[in-house]
Structure 1
Amino acid sequence: MSAKVVLITGTSSGIGLESAIAAARAGWTTVATLRDPNRADALRDAADRAGVTLDIRQLDVTDPASVSAAIEGTLADHGRLDALINNAGAGHVGTIENESVEDVRRVMEVNFFGVVAATKAALPHLRASGGRLITVTSVGGVVGQPFNEAYCAAKFAVEGFMESLAPVVGRLGVTVSVVEPGAVATEFVTNIGLDPEQLFAAAGEYAEPLRNYVARTQGQFANAAQTPEQVAVTVIDALTAERPPFRLQTSEWARTFTGTKLADHDGSAVLTLTDAYLG
């Protein structure tokens, strides 16, 4: 009961999986959650190879009952919650003329409202422990990118939500950070489930710029992507540092890219400004 407890969403693969392993290695009691428990084999295998123990639980961020059950089950079994890492998310490629508003709503539901739901459920317990609230966003939460309108809108929303929340819960002892990866060599892109040729055939007038965008993006993921393990290092920095910044990029490329828009890389100037609003 003495070890600090972290709950991580979206741990079936990629950043979430590696963050769960790294947190357990760092001595945290790690509750690794995923939407579909049938996809937990890779997580279990990674834990066995690393020689660590994980508490693996079901959590679908789009299902309020599932969120509540995972949080309350963690409290019942471990007695505390010291950190939440919001990692669950889903990619999306498209442009609004060629898709429905309902398509956009689904992207927002997973990538934004799922974060909101998990955060709301965890906050009373994070206040009690003086804990950490960490969310994996994206450089796409800072710089909007072609054919990523819905995805970037969701990540922008997450960043705005967390930046606004940080000074408020900070007054009550909760530290908030966002982690901004660039290209990451994970199943995240594969899990979008797109057939490029079908995508181009349906793109109409947008086909040529879409082909150019996809070619450029595939090249970036092939040549400049970080590994999930590398990104997890930054996530664990946010979890364990004595005074982590609000905003953490995961690579020099991500810092340079977001720097085209953000002069305040770590978020300290914004939070100093808005914290003063609270007296």
Structure 2
Amino acid sequence: MSVRTVLITGTSSGIGLSTAVAAARDGWRVIATMRDTTRAGPLGTAAREAGVDLEVRALDVTAPASVEECLAGLDRLDALVNNAGSGHVGTLELGSVEDVRAVMEVNFFGVLHVTRAALPLLRASRGRVVTVTSVGGVVGQPFNEAYCAAKFAVEGFMESLAPVAAATGVSVSVVEPGAVASEFVRNVGIGDRVPDPEGPYTAARAAYLERTRGAFADAQSPQDVAGCLVDLLAAERPAFRVQTSDRARAFAALKLKDLDGTAVQDLTRTWVS
């Protein structure tokens, strides 16, 4: 049997890095991609420490030409892991519509660009698409409007695509982590304790940040999430929706049984007061 090949986006750090190494350890040929390959040092170090080989390629998920170039020459692809993404903490009145568009480009349209390019190869191998979303793709969260909108969009798109892709032999799954101890916190400024300028959202944002710092203080490790992803890659009948921890399962379950939205609103209001 041919060696299975998986392409993983966003592998310079966090979940992507850990998943690339874990998949290689599990016997996959790993195409590890990132926008800027000069940031591949930590991935290379982790691979050497694990005694595995990886192939690193440049891939900007927001640029269709970059996506096509990255996949060019691949004669086989058994799985795609859409992991690349970016966080955003803010609210519409204090930001701009352009800020929202930028978040959507990476977290939603980037997933579409890569998935569309990969599907012909995945049909040939009867492979699978696995997309890392978030519990923020199930439950809307204060000061995460743009991020949750993008993740909601990915979840809706993939849930709709799944039966269509299955008719051609390709399985589709989404993976929903909760808080993960990665560079996400630093990148979106959750750890920043500098007070906001006075304004209508100052107190609410301070309450949100305080609550969220506590959540990330007890966050799941990227390696734990990677283990869930590799298990899903190997599953004979992969589920469509997978949460990566008991906490994430409980959080998602709150929404999925909350028909009128009351339970979610009652919870998230406490985050900003």
Q: TM-score, normalised by structure 2?
A: 0.92
Question: What are the residue-to-residue correspondences of 1:184-223 with 2, within 5 Å?
Answer: 184-193=180-189, 196=192, 200-201=196-197, 204-222=199-217
C-alpha contact (below 8 Å) 2:82/2:132 kept by paired residues: yes
Aligned pair 1:50/2:50, yes or no? yes
| Residue of structure 2 equivalent to 1:257 | 251
Instruction: Determine the C-alpha separation between the residues in 2 that align with 1:99 and 1:195.
Output: 19
Q: Which piece of structure 1 moves more, 42-51 or 235-244?
A: 235-244
Instruction: Determine the C-alpha separation between the residues in 1 that align with 2:84 and 2:76.
Output: 22
Shift of 1:199: 6.4
Aligned partner of 2:42: which letter?
A: A
| Residue of structure 2 equivalent to 1:113 | 109
SS state at 1:66 partner: helix
Shift of 1:192: 2.2
Q: Percent identity?
A: 65
Shift of 1:194: 6.8
Instruction: Determine the C-alpha separation between the residues in 2 that align with 1:245 and 1:40.
Output: 31
1:161 is aligned, of 143, 152, 157, to: 157
C-alpha contact (below 8 Å) 1:237/1:244 kept by paired residues: no
SS state at 1:158 partner: helix
| Residue of structure 1 equivalent to 2:237 | 243
Instruction: Determine the C-alpha separation between the residues in 2 that align with 1:71 and 1:20.
Output: 17
Shift of 1:263: 4.5
Aligned partner of 2:135: which letter?
A: V
Alpha carbon RMSD of aligned pairs, Å? Answer: 1.5
2:170 is aligned, of 153, 171, 174, to: 174
Instruction: Determine the C-alpha separation between the residues in 2 that align with 1:62 and 1:204.
Output: 34
Instruction: Determine the C-alpha separation between the residues in 2 that align with 1:205 and 1:197.
Output: 18
| Residue of structure 2 equivalent to 1:19 | 19
Instruction: Determine the C-alpha separation between the residues in 2 that align with 1:195 and 1:98.
Output: 19
Unpaired runs of 5+ in structure 2? Answer: 259-273
| Residue of structure 2 equivalent to 1:39 | 39
SS state at 2:146 partner: helix
Q: How many residues were matched structurally?
A: 258
1:126 is aligned, of 115, 122, 128, to: 122
| Residue of structure 2 equivalent to 1:230 | 224
C-alpha contact (below 8 Å) 2:190/2:213 kept by paired residues: no
Task: Give the 3 Å change call, closer, same or farther, for CA 199–174 of structure 1 in structure 2.
Answer: farther
Shift of 1:204: 1.5
Instruction: Determine the C-alpha separation between the residues in 1 that align with 2:255 and 2:19.
Output: 28
Unpaired runs of 5+ in structure 1? Answer: 265-279
Deviation track 1:78-115 (CA, whole Å, cap 9, x = no partner) reads x2011100000000000001111000000000000000
Shift of 1:262: 1.6
C-alpha contact (below 8 Å) 2:9/2:59 kept by paired residues: yes
Deviation track 1:141-168 (CA, whole Å, cap 9, x = no partner) reads 0000000000000000000000000000
